[in-house]
Amino acid sequence: MGIRHLTCITVLACLCCLSVSCTKSKDYYEEYRQLPGESWDMDKPLTFAFDITDTAIPYRLNLNFRYTDAFPWQDIFLFLQSTLPDGSLSRDTLHCPLFEPDGRPMGNGHRVKELEVAYSLLRFPMPGHYTLHFSQGMRAKKVNGIISFGISLKKTGSENISSKP
């Protein structure tokens, strides 16, 4: 092997190491739901379903919004109904600010803002199939300005962990 060949292999190895170390860790689960007409109807919950096999791993549940300035309020309220593998139900009301108090939108983007809101750090109580149903809770039949809504589950360390999904 010549010096040129060794140099080429060394450079390629360094590039591979850099690309692996700089990539974002893969979410365990991530999914979005598009909202027709950029409007979220209160009678049409958005459902996300996934399977958990290892209950020892803690996860961060994030709520992901894509929205525009057509959203008429500063915050959005959501109703969450979780169905656990044993059929039991859990309900929660979530509050998510989308705009700063001075009216500036939170998140990244120009016409369409993208915002990820950390909801909870949790450990799932049992393995199996989980279903999360999200409804907008704004007391308006339809809420304009929401283009899509999604969730992501990310594996994380064992910080202060809630056991409710």
pLDDT tens, 97-120? 999 999 999 999 999 999 999 999
Across the range 138-154, mean pLDDT stands at 96
**Six-digit token string for 66:** 């894509």
Phi, psi of 164 (to 5 degrees): -100, 130
DSSP conformational letter for 52: E
Percent of the residues in the chain that have a pLDDT greater than 90, as a whole number: 74
The yes-or-no verdict on residue 159 having pLDDT over 60 is no
Quote the pLDDT of residue 54: 87
What per-residue confidence (pLDDT) applies to 102?
94
Output the pLDDT for position 156: 85
Higher pLDDT, 4 or 107: 107
Predicted local confidence at residue 163, as pLDDT? 53
Q: In this predicted structure, what is the pLDDT of residue 22?
A: 38
For 159, counting Cβ atoms within 10 Å of its Cβ (0-12 exposed, 13-18 middle, 19+ buried), the class is exposed
Of 29, 60, 26, 54, residue with least CA distance to 128: 54
Over range 54-65, report the average pLDDT: 94
- Sorted by where each starts, the structural domains of the chain and their CATH numbers stand as 27-155 (2.60.120)
What mean pLDDT comes out for the span 23-50?
88
The chain-wide mean pLDDT, for the chain, equals 84
What residues does 152 pair with on adjacent strands? 30, 62
* pLDDT mean over 2-20: 37
Output the DSSP codes for 91-124.
EEEEEEE-B-TTSPBPSB-SSSEEEEEEEEEE--
pTM higher than 0.85, yes or no? Answer: no
Tell me which residue of 141, 146, 147 sits closest to 42, measured CA to CA: 141
Please give the order of strands across the beta sheet that includes 75-83.
46-52, 128-136, 75-83, 89-97
The residue whose two tokens read 């292999």 is 9
More confident residue, 86 or 6: 86
